[in-house]
Structure 1
Amino acid sequence: MVHVGIVGVGLVGSELLSQLATTQAKRLKVVGLTNSRKMVVSENYAPLSLTSWQQSLESSTTASDLAQFVKYMSSSPEHAVIVDCTASDAVSQLYPSWLSAGVSVVTPNKKGFSGSLDLYKQIESLAANLGGSTGNNKPLVYHESTVGAGLPVLNTLADLVKTGDEIQTIEGIFSGTLSYLFNNFSSLAADAKKESFSSIVKVAKELGYTEPDPRDDLNGMDVARKVTICGRLAGLDLDLSTLPVENIVPEPLQAVASADEFMAKLPEFDDHFSKLNEDAKKDGQVLRYVGLVDVKGGNSGVKLIRYPASHPFASLSGSDNIIKFTTKYFPNGLIIQGAGAGAAVTSFGIYSDLLKIQERVEGY
C-alpha cells in the first residue's frame, strides 16, 4: 500500500486523479489534496473519493499549509508519496525536507532538477534510487514527466547509465511547441504550405500549444531545463545559468511589455525567419530547435540547427518530441519519439512513477 498526497490539482493534478479513478488503482490510496488556498486530508488515512474530491476540497475549511500537509503525510503508517503537480520553484525547494521526513516525491516540476546544482545534489543524496542510502523504507524520487511528459526518456537514460553504457550525446527536440512551429514552418515536402513564421505562432497560440506569452517558448529556457536534467542524469554538472541557449525571439521584441504587443509586432520579423528557412532549403535542409547534451565534447546547449532530409528530426510531424541517445552500445542512435506535452500524457508519466514506487516498496 502507498499513500499519496497531491500538491496542485489544476490541469495535470485533476487529470491524474481522473486516471487513478478510471483504473481503480487499488494499491495507491490518495489521502491528501492541497491547492494554493485549501487542503483536505482524510481521517485515519482512509482513501479520499476520487469522484467527489473537488467538492471535498472546495468545501474544506482548512487553509492550505504545506508544512502541516507534509507532517500528515510523514506520519502515514504506509509508504507516503507527495506528488508535486505545480511548476513552483518555492515548492521544489522543499523536496529535501520532504525526503528527510521519509516522504517520497513524484513530480513533473522541472525546477528542482534543473535549478541550483546544490539543491539537485541534496535531493540526489536523500533519494534511495538516485544514489542516497538504500533500504525498504527509504524515500524515493521519480520525475519522468519533467522531460518528454510520459515518454520513457529519463527511465531509458537511467538504465543506460546504470548498466555501464557510455553516453556520448543526447540530442532532441524537447519542446512540443517548438516542434510544431518548425515542423510546419520548415519542411521539404512538395505539398508543404508556405506560411509566415508569425502566422504559425498565432495558430499555435490559438490552439493552446504555446505559453500565454509565446516568448516563454521561443526563448529556449524550457528546453534548456530539460537539457540540464538529462545532462545531470548522464553525469555532467550542467548549470542552467551558464548553458548556451539561443533565444530566437527577435532582440527588439524581447523586452516589449506584453504578449499582445509581441504578437502584433512579430510579423515585422517574418523576413528574418523566411531567409533562415530558404537558406536551409537551398541546401536540402530544414530548421529544427534542438537541445544537446554533449558528454564527451563538452558542447552542450540549445540552438536552432539545420538537418538534411535523411535525418530523423527532419521528418517529424505535429508536435511530437524526439530524443536520440548516441552511446557505446547504440552507436547509430537509440530514438524515443512521441507526444511530449499535454495533461493526459504528463499524468500518465506521473502514474507510471507512482507504480514504480509501489512495486519497489512492495517488493515486486
Structure 2
Amino acid sequence: MNICASPLAEHPNPLPPALALPTRTPRQRTLAVGVVGPGRVGSALLEQLRAAQPRLARDSGLDLRLCGVVASKRMWLDCDDPELNARHHSAQTWRPSDLDEFAAHVRGNEGRHALLVDCSANPAVAAHYPHWLASGIHVVTPNKLAGSGDLAQWRAIRAACTHGARFRYEATVCAGLPVVQTLRDLLDTGDRMLSIEGMFSGTLAWLYNRHDGQLPFSTLLREAHALGYTEPDPRTDLSGIDVARKLVILAREAGLPLSLEDVEVESLVPPALAALPLDASCNVRTNLMRRWPRAWPARTPPAAYCAMSPASTMPAAHACDWRCCHPATLLRIRA
C-alpha cells in the first residue's frame, strides 16, 4: 500500500513561512540610442524599441531614450522634436543628414551611455565605426559590410574597442541565431575549430525549398522579395556574395585574416542579368526578376551544405581550405 503525505504535515517541527525579500528599486540608468537607416529593418527596430521602453524602465530601471534617427538625406533629433520617441520620419522637424553631428548629439555632453544601431547597408556609414567606438559610443549592426569589408578597416574597428565601447554584429550571420557569439565563446574557452556546417542563406534556403518546377523561378523570386526575404538587390543573394561575406565574418572571428578577394564564387546570376543596373525603382527590380530563368541551372548540386575545415598539414591559423557548396553557389576560401 502506498501512502502519500505532505512533507510539512509529516515533520514534527515544520519550518516557518519564508520571509518576503525586501523590494529593491532598480538603479536608474539612461541609454541614449540613435538609429541609422529607418528602412524595413530600421522601422521594425524602432517599433520594438518603443514597445520595450515601458518594460525596461519598470523592470530594469533602464531609460531607453531614442535620441535620433538618420536616413540618407534627413535626420530627426529629439532636441528638435520632443515626441520623437512616439513617432519618426512623418510630419516632424528635420535637418539635413550629418553623421558626425548625429553621433555627437546621441553621445551628449553629460557622459551618458550611447548606442548607435546601423540598419543601413552603406559602406560610408561603416567607415565611421572606428571613430564612433574610439569616442566611447557602442555600435550594433546587422550590416555585413564592416565585418567582411576592408581588412584594415576591420582591424581599426577591433582596435577602437579597446577603449571600452562595444561592437556587436551577431545579426550579420544567420540573423537572430547566436552563431558569432557561440563561436567566440568556444574559441575563448580553448576549443579548436575543426569545421562549421550549415545553410548560410535563408533566402536561398527558402527558394530551394519552394522550387519544385511548377512555378517559374522568377515568380518565387518576386514572392521572396515581397516578403522581405531577399536583399534590396536580389542578385546579392543569388550571386553568392552575401554568403561569402558571412564566411569572411566567421573566418575573421576565428582569427583568420581573410578578405572577400580570397573567396572564389560561382554565381547563379546569368551574365546578362548581372550587367543590368539596379536603381531604387521597384519597376527595375520587377523587370529584372521577370527576366530570370524559369528553372534552376542543370549544374545545381542536389545537396545544400557549407563546410569549413582547416588543412591538417599546415598551421591552422594560416592554412585553411574553406568550401561552401550550395544549391545556388559554390565558394572556396583559401588562406
Common fold, TM-score beyond 0.5? yes
Aligned: 1:71 with 2:91? no
Q: Which residue of 1 aligns with 2:199?
A: 173
Q: Distance in 2 between matches of 1:42 and 1:259?
A: 36
Choose the corresponding residue for 2:74, options 32, 38, 42.
Answer: 38
Q: Say if 2:218 is the partner of 1:229.
A: no
Can you list the C-alpha shifts for 1:120-176, whole angstroms capped at 9, x where unaligned?
11101111xxxx35xxxx211111111122111112111111111111122221211
**How far did 1:222 drift?**
0.7
Check conservation: 2:173, 2:246, Cα contact below 8 A. yes
Among 136, 143, 155, which residue is 1:102 paired with?
136
1:212-253 deviation per Cα after TM superposition (whole angstroms, max 9, x unaligned):
543222100011111111111011111112212221223454
Q: Percent identity between the aligned chains?
A: 38
Larger helix share, 1 or 2: 1
Higher relative contact order (CA 8 A, sep 6+): 1
How many equivalent residue pairs?
Answer: 278
Return the offset for 1:302.
3.7
**Aligned pairs for 1:17-28 within 5 A:** 17-24=46-53, 25-26=56-57, 27=62, 28=64
Give distance in 2, aligned partners of 1:202 and 1:121.
38
Amino acid aligned to 1:124 = R
SS at match of 2:114: strand
Residue 299 (structure 1) aligned to one of 318, 321, 329: 321
Describe how 1:1-364 pairs up with structure 2 within 5 A.
1=29, 2-24=31-53, 25-26=56-57, 27=62, 28-43=64-79, 49-55=84-90, 58-74=91-107, 75-127=109-161, 132=162, 138-185=164-211, 197-256=217-276, 259=285, 262-267=288-293, 270=295, 273=297, 275-276=298-299, 286-288=302-304, 290-296=305-311, 298-304=320-326
Say if 1:225 and 1:240, in contact at 8 Å, map to a contact too.
yes
Q: 1:221 & 1:184 partners in 2: Cα distance?
A: 22
| Post-superposition CA distance 1:241-283 (Å, at most 9, x none) | 2212221223454324565565444336x3x62x446xx6xxx
Q: SS at the partner of 2:303? A: strand
Q: TM-score, normalised by structure 2?
A: 0.73
Give the whole-Å Cα distance in 2 for the aligned partners of 1:167 and 1:63: 47
SS of the residue aligned with 1:167?
Answer: coil
Structure-2 change in CA distance of 1:36 and 1:103 (3 Å): same
Contact kept, 8 Å, 1:114 with 1:226, in 2: the verdict is yes
Does the CA contact (< 8 Å) of 2:65 and 2:85 recur in 1? Answer: no
d(CA) in 1 for partners of 2:160, 2:146: 13
Q: In the TM superposition, what whole-angstrom CA distance separates every residue of 1:100-135 from its partner, at most 9, and x where no partner exists?
A: 2111111111111100010111101111xxxx35xx
RMSD after superposition: 2.9
* 1:305 positional shift: 5.8
> 1:174 is paired with a residue of what secondary structure?
coil
Instruction: Answer with 1 or 2: which has the greater Rg.
Output: 2
Cα offsets for 1:12-57 (capped at 9, x unmatched)? 222112112212232122222222233233349x9865323444xx
User: Structure 1: how far apart are the matches of 2:187 and 2:307?
Assistant: 17
What residue identity is the alignment partner of 2:193? I
Which residues of structure 1 form unaligned runs of 5+? 186-191, 281-285, 307-364
TM-score by length of 1: 0.68
Please give the secondary structure, in 1, of the residue aligned with 2:131: helix
- Gaps in structure 2 of 5+ consecutive residues: 1-28, 278-283, 312-318, 329-335
| 1:89 to 1:142, Cα distance in 2 relative to 1, 3 A | same
Shift of 1:9: 1.7
